[in-house]
Amino acid sequence: MGSVSHRRIEWHPGQPLQAVCLTGGHPAPSAGCACGIHASPDRRQLLDHGLCLVPGLPLVLGRVAVWGAVVRDDHGWRGQYAYPVELSLVEGTAGDDGTDRLLALLARYGVPVDTVPLAEAVGDVSAAILTFQAMSSRNPPS
């Protein structure tokens, strides 16, 4: 499972993710930097901030635990370590027959897994855009 904000960062089942600073060369998180594993206090704040969506890729939301060094800022927390405590596959993002396969993959993290409606996960505007993009990719203009 890859990060929505840093596509090359992978969350591996059974392994805490450890933060590194990609720009400052110091231990992460640092109070004077933006590094660390970001966690928001609630889903509404994520919707207001705008999730990074890639049409055609499954989207998973998660509640995470962050620990080690933790910095509190205006948007939530930035942690040194993180691991999911709950995962939700966003309905309609797994493709026509991918939901069961993805739920089985998410179960490897050993935490509760469920699904969440698209509009609840990404907000109404983003959901409409994703739905339109999905329809367009199935029926490309000729």
N- to C-terminal Cα distance for the chain?
34
* Residue 20 binds Zn ion, judged by CB under 5 A: no
* Residue 71 binds Zn ion, judged by CB under 5 A: no
From the centroid of its chain, how far is CA 65?
13
Q: Taking contact as CB under 5 A, which single stretch among the options 23-31, 40-48, 72-80, 133-141 is the one that binds Zn ion?
A: 23-31
Residue in 76, 117, 110 with CA at minimum distance from that of residue 93: 117
The two beta strands, 60-73 and 37-39, are unpaired
Q: Taking contact as CB under 5 A, which single stretch among the options 27-35, 55-63, 80-88, 122-130 is the one that binds Zn ion?
A: 27-35
Torsion of CA 6, 129, 77, 10, to 10 degrees: -30
Q: Taking contact as CB under 5 A, which single stretch among the options 9-17, 33-41, 93-101, 111-119 is the one that binds Zn ion?
A: 33-41
Smallest gap from residue 112 Cβ to Zn ion (A): 32
What is the contact surface with Zn ion in residues (CB under 5 A)?
Answer: 21, 24, 30, 33, 35
